[in-house]
Every structure is written in C-alpha cells, then in structure tokens.
Structure 1
Amino acid sequence: MKILRVARREYLEHVKTKAFLLGIVLLPVILVSSIFVQRLLERNSGGNPVVVVDGAGLGESIDAFYSSENFELRVQAPSSGNPAEDVEQLSEQILADEIDGFLIMDADVIDGAPVSWYSDNIAREEPRESVLEAVTQAVRKVRFERTGIEPEVVQAVYAPVQARDFGVGEDAEATEVDSDTREAKGFIPMIFVYLMFIGIMGQAQTMLTSTVEEKSNRVMEVLLSSLSPFQLMSGKMIGLGMVSFTLFAVWAAGGAFMIVRNGWEHMVDVATLGYFLIYFVPGFLLYSSVMAALGSLCNELKEAQNMMTPVMIILMVPLMTMFWVGQNPDHTIARVLSFIPTFTPFLMINRLASAQPPGMVEVLLSVLVLLVAIVITVWLAARVFRVGVLLYGKPPTFREVLRWMREA
C-alpha cells in the first residue's frame, strides 16, 4: 500500500507539469515537422547556376541529358585557347556567389580525357553529379554514333531492368511490396529505436535527478521515517514508469489512428506498437533501478552526471548499430546482441519493426531474459539504495558498493 502511495505521488507530481503536457504534443510535432522540413529543403536545395565550358561541341546533348531541377545549367564555348583564363574568370564568379561551380571540358574528352570540376564546396554532391551524368551521356552518344549505332538502339540497350518487390512471410506466401513500403521498412525501425531511447532514458534520468535532489534536500530522511528504502525505490520506479507508459500510450493511440486512417497498415504493423510497450516497461524498470542506485550514491547533480557516463556508453551500442540491425535483423550478431539485457529493448523493437521480424520464440525468450535481468538488477539496486540513500559526504568507491551488495 505504501509503495502505491509513493507511486501515485510520483505520477501526479510529473503528469501535472507543463513539461509533461508539452512532451505529449511536442515530440510527434517534431517528428512530423522534420519530415516536411526535409522535403521542403530538398525542394529548395537549389542554388546559383552551374557552367559547362564546352570545348567538344556537345552543348545541345548536354542540355538534353541534364536532369537537375535545382540548378540552372549554362553551356558556353571556351573564351580563348587558354583554359586557364576561363578558370580564373569563373572562379571569380564563384567567389562573387554568381555560380555554384563550373566544369572545363576539352575536345579530347570523346577519346577518354578527364574533365575538371571546380567549386568552393567540393564535398557537395549536387550539382556535380548531375552535370557529370549529363556530360557522360552526351559523350557516350557521340561514341556510339561514331561506330554507326543508332541512338534508339543505345537507349534500348541501356534501358534499366524494372523490378517488382515481393516480401516472403513465415507461411511462404509472397506479397508484392510497393516502393514506398520498401523505403519505409528501412527507416521505421530507427524511429522506434529513437522513441524507445527517449522514453527509457528520459524517465530514468528523472529517477536519477529526483533521487539526488530528495537526498540533498534531506527529504529522503523524512520519507524513510515512514517507509522502507525498498518501498520508496519501488514506488518511485512504478510512478515514473506509469508516467512514461501514459506518454507512449497516447503516442501509440495517435500513431495507430494515423496508420489506420491513412491506410498505412502495409507499411507499419500496428502490432509493433504493442511490442513497443511490451519492451518499454521492462526496459524502463531495468534502467530506472540502476539510476535509483546511482542517485543514492550521489550528493550533487554534478556527481550524478559523472555516474551517467558508463550507462550512456552502454546505450551507444544499440544506437550505433540500429541501421545495420534494421537492415540485417536475422543476422547472428543481431540475434546475440538482442539477448544482452541492456540492449534487448532497443534491438528487439528494431528487429520487430524491420522487414524481417523475429519469430515468437525469440520474442518470448528475450522478454524472459529481460525479466530475469530486472529481478537481479532491482534486487542489487535495492541493496545499494538502502545504504547509499542515507550516506552523505564523499561518494563510495566501486569496491565499497560491491561490499554493500554482498553484505546488505
């Protein structure tokens, strides 16, 4: 009963804040806005014109093959027999922000001589790639004409092979997948990993700072006069867990509504939202118990931030591997990492949201491993919390903490 009272206090203390209400609305708005902003930037990523100094007389063909809509193409003949003069003049135009870049092409380009690209931003792919592609197509056309091959034949030879994509399920049934779905299966797993990271670490850090603040303000001593350290820690974990659960339940309901309303079921399996909550709850319990133990060892937030470093290093693994795991969910390495409890919530939701989700046996085993890890972690964290929460002064050493785990 006391645990539930602490949990209720923690829950109401956080859900009534403006930050919580803002969080419900803000993250979905940021995610949706980022998609539209990205598309807007792509549409408006153009710049100044680009110039091709055509020493081979391929201007018409280059214009015909040039496909970029973001950069205007200007083809001009060499101003003199000295290419250095064109380079100097056009370089000045780059510095004056009149053009984005220019390409120098001599007559012997047909015979394999290289062209020269000049820009003040050599790392930028566009418009360089579009210009080079147009020049390549124009040169290729001339080479084929010299051999007597008609352009129509060339187009037929180089016509790309059209592909239809089919996903094969566990029942060996093949279902055709459109290009949008195929692309979505590439980035949706990463979105779920980020959401899991934000949810778990957001509230776990709240557990850390809350514990440190209550300890430094001597509130802990008052609370511990009427309940045990384990009851206090458990109540705080349950309360903050319900805060996150509420947050993600609202997001999941909104996400499911949008998926069904827009007919995106073929892109995002609604069941993945359920799996998200299944892994989120134990993931939060695992990390929040660790944070509660770490917070009990600290007297100031500065000390707590130092304690956070090892935890953040551990969390870098699922973040650094999330793209690879999403593309290779059935790889042995991905499977093995999924059964390491600190990685399980992140990697399993990554794999479940991918185009090749794991079977139910792996899901059940991973949940079982996570639950066992939670029992052990909470048990050890409670021992540390019981001693550390009433300890003031210099933080204990790692050896002392191990001794508390053995003796408490």
Structure 2
Amino acid sequence: MKGRMGKILTIARRDFRAILFSRSFLFFILGPLFPVVVASMAGGIGASVQGAAGPARIGVAMADTDTAMVTEARAALNQPLPRLPGTIVLDRPANSPQEVSAILKDGAGQGVAAVLSGTLDDPVLSGPQPRIAAWSGDVSLLVEEARRISATGPGQARQWPEIGLRPVAQPSQVDQTGGRIRTAQAAQTLLFILTMLLAGMVLSNLVEEKANKIIEVLAAAVPMDSVFFGKLLAMLGVSFVGISIWGGVAALVIVAGGASVAFLSAPAVGWPLFMALGAIYFACAYLLLGSLFLTIGGLAATVREVQTLSMPVTMAQLLVFFLASYSLGQQGQPVELAAALFPFSSPFAMLARAATDGALWPHLLAIGWQALWVVIIVRTGATLFRRTVMKSGPRGTKRGLFRMLHQSTRSFRQA
C-alpha cells in the first residue's frame, strides 16, 4: 500500500507542478473574476440609473384643503412609518384616465408613480395595477390620518408612544431556523458552482496525454488506477489553490466595500467546523464528479467526443443539485436520506445538514461512504481504460457491471 501511495503522489506532484507553473493557470485564475467585475459594474450602473430616477412618490391632485391635510398627515406619519411613500403636490386635476396618464408621463422626473385624487371622503388612487395594489394599504392609512387631522384641526400632532427596546443575545427559534436554512442554501449553491466550474478541467486531461503517447509511458511504469488517482489529487490541489486566491480576493472586496454576511446565521456545528466540512465535502464532490469526468476523458478519442459525452453528465449533476436542494425542505423524510445516500448528491445534502443539525457522527459515515464510491469509480474507470484504450488485461467482455465493481473493490483492499 505504501508503494502504491508513493506512485499516486508522484503522478500528483508531476501534474500539479505542470499545471501550476503553466501560462494557462493564470488565465484559469483570472477567468472567473471577469464575470464578477462585469456584474459589479452592471450593478453599480443600475443603482446609479435607479437613483437618478428618484424614489417613487404619490402625486396628490385634490382640493387645496384636502391636499394640505394629506401633506400634514404624511409628515405626522414619518416618525413611526418612515417607509411610507412620499407625496408631491400636483397643480393639475386628475379626473379622467387621460389626465392621470398625462401626469404619470410628465411627472416621471419627479418620481410620480401614482396619483391620489377625489376627496378625503371618497379618495381615488390611480396608476399601474401592481403599484396601486402595493400602495393601497399605505394610502388608506394616510387618508385616515388626514381625516383625523381635519376633524381635530391642523397642528394637532398625534403623540406617538415611546417603545422600549430590549435586545436579547439569543435569537428566536424561528429566526435561527430560517437563518440556518439560508446558510445551508448558500453553502449548497457555492459548493455546486465551484464543483462544476473546477471539475471540468479533468475532462481533457487524458485526451492530451493519449495524443502525445505520454499515457503509454505512464501505464508501463505505474498501475492505471494509480495514474487516475494521482491526476485527481493534482487537479484537486490546483482547485484548492484557485479557491484560496478567489476567496482572498472576495474577502478583500467585502472588507473594502464594508459589506457583510450578517444575513447568514451561524450553522449548527459552528463556523470553524462548518468551514472544515465544506472543504472536505468539496473534495468529495470534486473527486466523485472528477473521477467520472476522468473516465469519460479516458474513453474519448477527441476533445469533441469529450464535450459530447460530458453534456449528459453535466445535466445529470444539475438534477442532483436540485434533489439535494429539495431535500433541505424535507428534513427527516425519506427523500433526505436518499439524497444523503446517493453518492453524487451526498456532499450537498450533508453540507446542508451540517448547517441545520449539530450531530457529527452522520458526517463521518457520509465521508467514508463518499470515499468508497470515489475508489469504486476510479477503479472501474481505470479497468475500462485498460481494456478499451490500452487493449490490455483479460478479454472477457461478458462480465457484468456489478462483478467489475466487486473485483475493483477487492483489489483495492488487497493493495
């Protein structure tokens, strides 16, 4: 076993150094940063354009007395309800749909999104259906306060009671559960994006070495399954280097921008252990998908065949992610157990479980289960590669898939 591990590490060091010190690695690191920069610029431009339009307000087109009452009511409600829509006094009537349309068109620069007309006894709110539906309750409160001021006389401000605030360190169970679910969803999404982004590098690895006849030299000196394991470990190491650089850049951007992740609640196992489990489950997800991609790349003759064969796997992985996401809302149900047992969805389901459940023993079982399937897939892929590409090994082609899996697992135990 020690000699086999040495061969695996030798292949891993060879591939890791070759990739890390290549020119393409720089573009690999910078590639994902371009969409982030473009999205940030687009968000800044959108916010600037939205800010130029100004906040949406209600245009008041009523009699002078009613308009004064509505304006005073809005000022009175500003203390307890500062998020109520603002008002602006209009100097033109709005008694018909045509007049309302003209006001909304001409008052766009002032942020007029709806028009309040009629009287305090019979108010009318005109505007686009989504806007007036969202503002109907606010306008009802505004008109009711205007009626009170009209009845009591202007200048009779309402005395709002002072509310004592008593914060507690422990959040409510509802807030804690909801926050942990958001943390689980964010972790699952990040794990899926990183896995799909980085595992694709494995696809073309063997295709290039087959074309250069390098794989024949490696196969003559090192067992094929050791070659597969070494290449997977090398690509996993490169992936961790990339994640470290991207994580450092993201941390600098967050600190420089004064942003935070306060909307994410602390996971049930605590942040340090959750981050460690995240790294472990990323490695498991990467090795599972990477071993499958490595098998596909080994069987394909050209890059075009690699792309054709990898498409169904990519779509299937998307379905796997949906299964893990759905199981998050079905905790304790059979679907969650199925997502945890299915090898390719197990890392996503178990990482989400770490955010919502503090038990640690299921993670030990899950990591061992996922590692077993990595071994099975790599052994099977190496066997198929020897028999179909290298044309070596037994010629018996009638053995079933289950017998091949059993043989691969038995040879691994003997090693």
Same fold (TM over 0.5): yes
Map 1:339-358 onto structure 2 (within 5 A). 339-352=341-354, 354=355, 356-358=356-358
Tell me if the contact between 2:11 and 2:231 (Cα under 8 Å) persists in the aligned partners. Answer: yes
Tell me if the contact between 1:141 and 1:151 (Cα under 8 Å) persists in the aligned partners. Answer: no
Work out the CA distance in 1 between the residues paired with 2:238 and 2:178. Answer: 33
Tell me if the contact between 1:344 and 1:366 (Cα under 8 Å) persists in the aligned partners. Answer: yes
Alignment partner of 1:74 is 2:88: yes
In structure 2, relative to structure 1, the CA distance for the partners of 1:252 and 1:84 (3 Å cut) is closer
Map 1:38-117 onto structure 2 (within 5 A). 45-49=50-54, 50-55=57-62, 57=67, 58-62=70-74, 65=77, 73-77=87-91, 79-80=92-93, 82-93=95-106, 98-107=109-118, 110=121, 115-117=125-127
Tell me if the contact between 1:65 and 1:137 (Cα under 8 Å) persists in the aligned partners. Answer: no
SS of the counterpart of 1:166?
coil
Give the corresponding residue for 1:313: 315
Give the corresponding residue for 2:141: 137
1:206 maps to amino acid? M
Work out the CA distance in 1 between the residues paired with 2:37 and 2:330. Answer: 26
Map 1:166-205 onto structure 2 (within 5 A). 166=170, 185=180, 187-205=182-200
Tell me if the contact between 2:11 and 2:230 (Cα under 8 Å) persists in the aligned partners. Answer: yes
Cα deviation digits, residues 35-67 of structure 1 (max 9, x gap): 999699668742425451433532332455477
Map 1:206-285 onto structure 2 (within 5 A). 206-248=201-243, 267=266, 269-285=271-287
In structure 2, relative to structure 1, the CA distance for the partners of 1:212 and 1:102 (3 Å cut) is same
Work out the CA distance in 2 between the residues paired with 1:400 and 1:70. Answer: 73
Tell me if the contact between 1:62 and 1:138 (Cα under 8 Å) persists in the aligned partners. Answer: yes
1:273, distance to aligned residue in structure 2 (A)? 1.6
1:24, distance to aligned residue in structure 2 (A)? 6.2
Tell me if the contact between 1:51 and 1:76 (Cα under 8 Å) persists in the aligned partners. Answer: no
Give the corresponding residue for 1:395: none
Tell me if the contact between 1:62 and 1:134 (Cα under 8 Å) persists in the aligned partners. Answer: no
Cα deviation digits, residues 297-333 of structure 1 (max 9, x gap): 222222222222232223324644677666x584534
1:293 maps to amino acid? T
Work out the CA distance in 1 between the residues paired with 2:32 and 2:284. Answer: 22
1:277, distance to aligned residue in structure 2 (A)? 2.1
Tell me if the contact between 2:74 and 2:86 (Cα under 8 Å) persists in the aligned partners. Answer: no
1:241, distance to aligned residue in structure 2 (A)? 2.1
2:103 maps to amino acid? L
Map 1:254-403 onto structure 2 (within 5 A). 267=266, 269-317=271-319, 319-320=321-322, 328=329, 330-332=331-333, 333-352=335-354, 354=355, 356-390=356-390
Unaligned runs of 5+ residues in structure 1 are 169-173, 392-398
1:75 maps to amino acid? V
Higher Rg of the two aligned structures: 2
Work out the CA distance in 1 between the residues paired with 2:86 and 2:362. Answer: 54
Tell me if the contact between 2:228 and 2:378 (Cα under 8 Å) persists in the aligned partners. Answer: no
In structure 2, relative to structure 1, the CA distance for the partners of 1:103 and 1:249 (3 Å cut) is closer
In structure 2, relative to structure 1, the CA distance for the partners of 1:256 and 1:99 (3 Å cut) is closer
1:302 maps to amino acid? R
SS of the counterpart of 2:113?
strand
Cα deviation digits, residues 236-267 of structure 1 (max 9, x gap): 112212222444467789999999xx999984
Give the corresponding residue for 1:394: none
1:138, distance to aligned residue in structure 2 (A)? 0.7
2:233 maps to amino acid? I
SS of the counterpart of 1:341?
coil
SS of the counterpart of 1:102?
strand
TM-score by length of 2: 0.68
Tell me if the contact between 1:47 and 1:70 (Cα under 8 Å) persists in the aligned partners. Answer: no
Give the corresponding residue for 2:8: 3
1:360, distance to aligned residue in structure 2 (A)? 1.1
In structure 2, relative to structure 1, the CA distance for the partners of 1:226 and 1:41 (3 Å cut) is same
1:291, distance to aligned residue in structure 2 (A)? 0.7
Tell me if the contact between 2:58 and 2:116 (Cα under 8 Å) persists in the aligned partners. Answer: no
Tell me if the contact between 1:109 and 1:139 (Cα under 8 Å) persists in the aligned partners. Answer: yes
SS of the counterpart of 1:115?
strand
CA RMSD of aligned residues (A): 5.0
Tell me if the contact between 2:324 and 2:339 (Cα under 8 Å) persists in the aligned partners. Answer: no
TM-score by length of 1: 0.69
In structure 2, relative to structure 1, the CA distance for the partners of 1:147 and 1:308 (3 Å cut) is farther
1:367, distance to aligned residue in structure 2 (A)? 1.6
